[in-house]
């Protein structure tokens, strides 16, 4: 059974700090890894990673995948209170059908 484990489960930081969120996975037929941000509504897409070692970047957020060690990290630099959210990691099992397995998420709280 596919499995995604995120750590830490929750994190409290001050504005301006840099945070690193972790996602490790086990999947029988890896296709891609997705990161989402969820505030008090539906998850919004951040990144899709398919290749090892290639950093994806969007503003203060960046992410990288290690397919050998089966993990990904999401970095947020110069955090702002608006970054407070649950960050979800999901892996896509590309087998014969497309199936997404989500981790439980990391709750990030950024205090002013």
The residue ranges that bind other proteins (CB under 8 A) are 31-32, 34, 36, 41-45, 48, 88, 90, 92, 97-105
In the complex, the smallest distance separating the C-beta of residue 21 from other proteins, rounded to whole angstroms, is 15
Looking at the Cβ atoms of 75 and 94, the one nearer to other proteins is 94
Looking at the Cβ atoms of 31 and 84, the one nearer to other proteins is 31
Per-residue three-class SS string for the chain: CCEEEEECCEEEEECCCCEEEEEEEECCCEEEEEEEEECCCCCEEEEEECCCCCCEEECCEEEEEECCCCEEEEEECCCCHHHCEEEEEEEEECCCCCEEEECCCEEEEEEC
In the complex, the smallest distance separating the C-beta of residue 48 from other proteins, rounded to whole angstroms, is 5
In the complex, the smallest distance separating the C-beta of residue 86 from other proteins, rounded to whole angstroms, is 9
In the complex, the smallest distance separating the C-beta of residue 102 from other proteins, rounded to whole angstroms, is 4
Looking at the Cβ atoms of 17 and 94, the one nearer to other proteins is 94
**Cis omega (within 30 of 0) for bond into 4:** no
């Amino acid at each position: 059974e596919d499995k995604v484990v995120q750590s830490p489960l929750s994190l409290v930081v001050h504005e301006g700090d840099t945070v690193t969120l972790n996602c490790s996975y086990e999947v029988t037929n890896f296709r891609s890894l997705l990161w989402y941000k969820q505030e008090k509504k539906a998850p919004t897409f951040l990144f899709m990673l398919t290749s090892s070692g290639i950093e994806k970047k969007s503003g203060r957020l960046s992410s990288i995948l290690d397919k050998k060690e089966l993990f990904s990290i999401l970095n947020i630099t110069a955090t702002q209170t608006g970054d407070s959210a649950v960050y979800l990691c999901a892996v896509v099992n590309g087998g014969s059908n497309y199936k997404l397995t989500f981790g439980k998420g990391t709750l990030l709280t950024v205090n002013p």
